[in-house]
């Protein structure tokens, strides 16, 4: 896709035709695995349609619902009750009249959960990541960011300043070098250091304490994105920030409700009321978007409450059992998986060509999983991102592994036949 990111030509409409031709060629050959739509709830087994309208039925490892909150009877009951009382829409910006009793309670719950004085809500997780950077950073300030940070963070940085410095993934020493270089020349402007507590493509985590200490040393502000681990990892659901004993010690914490809490929406937790109020009026996605609906705020609040109970601990235990089982069975089947145990289990495929051929065979094998390819990951490092849910059964996991292996074996055979046909050098099998 990167080839089409910066199209050329005076006609804004005509110059996008090249992307569609490329996309449609893949679609016609069953090699476009994106933009699918579920035909029922995103449960562990579901029906879906592909981008061309073809039917897919299979075990579902493509949905982001780590604790299976979106299908929880308790969560659905809360949603129904709040809709009856408040309607379906906030009908206003949080800076005006878009707040509700539920959103106020949710902000307090998030702050308490993270050991922070304040938390402010955003309409989406993407808006929170973009908005906290664009809201606080100005053109003369600096951003030092992990090279693999999420797109919302990269886009927020690009919109805020041209002074952006990327350090190699999770390399604290390289982050220090950038801070030293910046402060040697500029002691007047601000610096924001940006990272994630769990990276979704590699399933690994940084040394958050070391990064915060760096920021304290150089007068910088640390912002950590906890979208993928908050609520579902750690004995108490506080994710890597909790596991690294950094609750209440990080300058800024932002996250999303769409992975664990069964809703759209996001938040930024901060250390004082001043930042809270400034973001409300100077972060564009917060100021100029309608606030979370009452139903969304209420269901997320209920999800937080469940996470702090015995039921929440049981859900996390079920999730981790499933994660470890899936990783173990994948390795036993000859695959290589990335990173540490988390709800994101990425399976190495290697070349984009091979990965696309395998992906084409997944629907007929009965597995729904997401293909991730360049530029979302480095070229030649395509992978299948399997997202685990607490409600996945042992049989779901066995089915997923056997069906991936089935699709992979067919894809490899097709790939090798194509290589032989074109007399090109075959790529090595990666699993």
- Among the residue ranges 90-94, 152-156, 276-280, 296-300, the one predicted with the least confidence is 90-94
Closest CA to 144 of 186, 111, 115, 114: 186
Closest CA to 119 of 129, 127, 109: 109
d(CA 42, CA 46): 6
pLDDT (0 to 100) of residue 422: 67
User: What ranges do the domains of the chain cover?
Assistant: 30-60+310-422, 70-307
| Mean pLDDT value of segment 336-344 | 96
Would you place residue 24 in the very low, low, confident or very high pLDDT band (cuts 50, 70, 90)?
A: very high
CA torsion sign, 232 to 238 to 240 to 243? negative
Q: Is pLDDT at 182 greater than 70 in this prediction?
A: yes
As a dihedral over the C-alpha atoms of residue 135, residue 139, residue 145, residue 150, rounded to 10 degrees, the angle is: 50
Out of 3.90.105.10, 3.20.20.70, 3.40.640.10, 3.40.50.720, which CATH number does the structure's domain 70-307 have? 3.40.640.10
pLDDT (0 to 100) of residue 52: 87
Closest CA to 141 of 126, 156, 152, 128: 156
Q: How many residues belong to the chain?
A: 431
Please indicate, yes or no, whether the overall pTM of this predicted structure exceeds 0.85.
yes
Peptide bond into 375 cis (omega under 30): yes
149, 195 in Cβ contact below 8 A? yes
d(CA 48, CA 31): 16
Q: Is pLDDT at 61 greater than 90 in this prediction?
A: yes
pLDDT (0 to 100) of residue 419: 85
In the sheet with 191-196, reading across from the earlier edge strand, the strands are 118-122, 266-270, 252-256, 221-225, 191-196, 142-146, 164-167
Q: Is pLDDT at 339 greater than 90 in this prediction?
A: yes
pLDDT (0 to 100) of residue 427: 44
Q: Of 400 and 1, which is predicted with more confidence?
A: 400
Q: Is pLDDT at 183 greater than 90 in this prediction?
A: yes
pLDDT (0 to 100) of residue 420: 81
Instruction: Please state the φ and ψ torsions of residue 162, each to the nearest 5 degrees.
Output: -90, -5
Per-residue pLDDT tens over the stretch 214-266: 999 999 999 999 999 999 999 999 999 999 999 999 999 999 999 999 999 99
Per-residue pLDDT tens over the stretch 402-415: 999 999 999 999 99
Mean pLDDT across the chain, nearest whole number?
95
CATH (residue range 30-60+310-422): 3.90.1150.10
Q: Is pLDDT at 12 greater than 60 in this prediction?
A: yes
3-state SS assignment for residue 11: coil
Q: Is pLDDT at 289 greater than 90 in this prediction?
A: yes
Per-residue pLDDT tens over the stretch 354-377: 999 999 999 999 999 999 999 889
- Among the residue ranges 163-167, 189-193, 414-418, the one predicted with the least confidence is 414-418
User: What does the angle CA 251 – CA 126 – CA 139 come to, to the nearest 5 degrees?
Assistant: 60
| Mean pLDDT value of segment 292-302 | 97
pLDDT (0 to 100) of residue 428: 44
Longest dimension (CA), the chain: 67
Would you place residue 429 in the very low, low, confident or very high pLDDT band (cuts 50, 70, 90)?
A: very low
């Amino acid at each position: 896709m990167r080839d089409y990111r910066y199209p050329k030509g005076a006609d804004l409409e005509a110059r996008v035709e090249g992307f569609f031709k490329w996309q449609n060629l893949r679609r016609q050959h069953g090699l476009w695995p994106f933009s699918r739509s579920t035909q029922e709830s995103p449960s562990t087994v579901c029906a879906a349609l592909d981008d061309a309208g073809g039917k897919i039925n299979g075990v579902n490892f493509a949905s982001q619902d780590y604790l299976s909150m979106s299908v929880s009877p308790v969560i659905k009951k809360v949603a129904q009750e709040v809709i009856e009382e408040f309607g379906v829409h906030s009908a206003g910006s949080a800076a005006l009249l878009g707040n509700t009793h539920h959103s106020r309670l949710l902000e307090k719950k998030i702050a308490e959960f993270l050991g922070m004085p304040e938390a402010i809500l955003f309409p989406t997780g993407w808006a929170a990541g973009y908005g906290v950077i664009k809201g606080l950073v100005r053109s003369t300030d600096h951003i030092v960011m992990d090279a693999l940070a999420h797109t919302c963070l990269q886009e927020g940085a690009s919109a805020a300043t041209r002074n952006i410095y990327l350090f190699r993934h999770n390399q604290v020493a390289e982050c220090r070098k950038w801070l030293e270089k910046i402060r040697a020349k500029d002691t007047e402007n601000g610096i924001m250091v940006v990272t994630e507590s769990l990276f979704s493509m590699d399933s690994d985590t940084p040394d958050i304490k070391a990064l915060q200490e760096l920021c304290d040393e150089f007068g910088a502000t640390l912002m950590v994105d906890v979208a993928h681990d908050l609520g579902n990892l750690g004995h108490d659901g506080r994710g890597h920030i909790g596991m690294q004993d950094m609750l209440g010690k990080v300058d800024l914490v932002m996250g999303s409700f769409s992975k664990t809490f069964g809703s759209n929406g996001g938040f930024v937790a901060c250390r004082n009321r001043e930042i809270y109020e400034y973001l409300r009026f100077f972060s564009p996605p917060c100021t100029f978007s309608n606030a979370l609906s009452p139903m969304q705020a209420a269901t997320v609040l209920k999800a937080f409450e469940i996470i702090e109970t015995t039921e929440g601990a049981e859900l996390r235990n079920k999730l981790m059992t499933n994660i470890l089982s899936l990783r173990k069975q994948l390795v036993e089947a000859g695959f290589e998986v990335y990173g540490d145990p988390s709800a994101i289990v990425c399976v190495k495929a290697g070349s984009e060509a091979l990965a696309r051929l395998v992906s084409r065979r997944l629907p007929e094998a009965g597995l729904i999983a997401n293909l991730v390819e360049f530029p979302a990951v480095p070229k030649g490092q395509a992978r299948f991102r399997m997202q685990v849910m607490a409600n996945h059964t042992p049989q779901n996991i066995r089915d997923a592994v056997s069906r991936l292996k089935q699709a992979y074996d067919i894809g490899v055979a097709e790939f090798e036949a194509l290589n032989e046909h074109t007399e090109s050098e075959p790529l090595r099998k990666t699993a």
